[in-house]
Structure 1
C-alpha cells in the first residue's frame, strides 16, 4: 500500500469548543457583502452559534458585553448565538467592500436571525461594554 502524497496545506483559523446542538438543528453557509461605510445589519441575535471568516475588507464587530473590535481580511470570528446580541458588523472602510463567509447553526423552529426592537435595545443597554456605549447612537 502506498502512502498518499499531498501538496495541500492546512492553516488553523479558529479553534472553539464544540457547541451543544439541539436535535434537528440545521446549518447554513452564507456570503455577506457590506458596502463601503455601511453600518451593516441592525442589532440582532442568532438562534445558534455562528462561525465566520473575513475574505476582504475590515469589519467593526461587537457582541454584547465585549468592546467593539476590528476584524481584518484573513481573520476568523465566532459568536455563541442564543440570547447574545450582535450589535455591530459594520464595514470599517469608506472606500471598499467588506466580504465574509459565515456558517450558522440554526436551532429547530427558531429563525436564524431576529432583529431587536428599539425597546429591547434600551432594556439591554446595561449589558453593553462601556467602550461600545461611548460611540453608540442607538
Structure 2
C-alpha cells in the first residue's frame, strides 16, 4: 500500500463565520493577474464577501479601516464586501506577476466591482487606516 501511514494531504484554511451573504447571491470564481509593479484596481467595493488565495507573487492588500499588509503566495485573504471599500491590491514585485484566485458571493444584478469616484474617495479618507493616508 503506497504511503502507508503517511498523509499526502495538507490543508490550510481561512474561516470567517460572520460573512454576510446577500439574498439570492451568485457565486463567482475568478483568477486575477496583476502585472509586475502594477498598483492594481482602484478603490472599489463588492456586493458580497470575497475569499481569495494567493497563487504567485506578493500583493499589498488594504481594506477600509485596516492597515495595509502584504499577502504572499500560499496565503489566504478575505473581505466582507458590502459598504467596506477595498483600496489596494498592488503587486509588490517589479519582476513577476501577482496571481490569485477569488470566490465572490455577489448580490444579483449588481456589478462585481463598484468603483468609487474621486469625490467618494475624498469623503471616506477619514475611514482609512492612518498609515495608508499619504499626507
Same-fold call, TM cutoff 0.5: yes
Hey, what does 2:13 align to over in structure 1? 13
- Moved beyond 3 Å, runs of 4+: none
1:9 to partner: Cα distance: 1.4
Equivalent residue runs for 1:1-138 within 5 Å: 9-134=9-134
Greater shift, 105-114 or 86-95, is seen at 105-114
Residues 76-96 of structure 1, C-alpha deviations (whole Å, 9 max, x = no match): 000000000000000000111
Distance 1:130 1:20 in 2: 27
TM-score by length of 1: 0.89
Task: Check conservation: 1:32, 1:100, Cα contact below 8 A.
Answer: yes
1:111 to partner: Cα distance: 1.4
Q: Identify unmatched segments of 5+ residues in structure 2.
A: 1-5
Distance 2:11 2:121 in 1: 38
Task: Check conservation: 1:13, 1:75, Cα contact below 8 A.
Answer: no
TM-score by length of 2: 0.91
1:127 to partner: Cα distance: 0.2
| Number of corresponding residues | 131
Distance 1:74 1:42 in 2: 24
1:106 to partner: Cα distance: 0.3
Distance 1:60 1:20 in 2: 24
Distance 1:10 1:69 in 2: 25
RMSD: 1.7
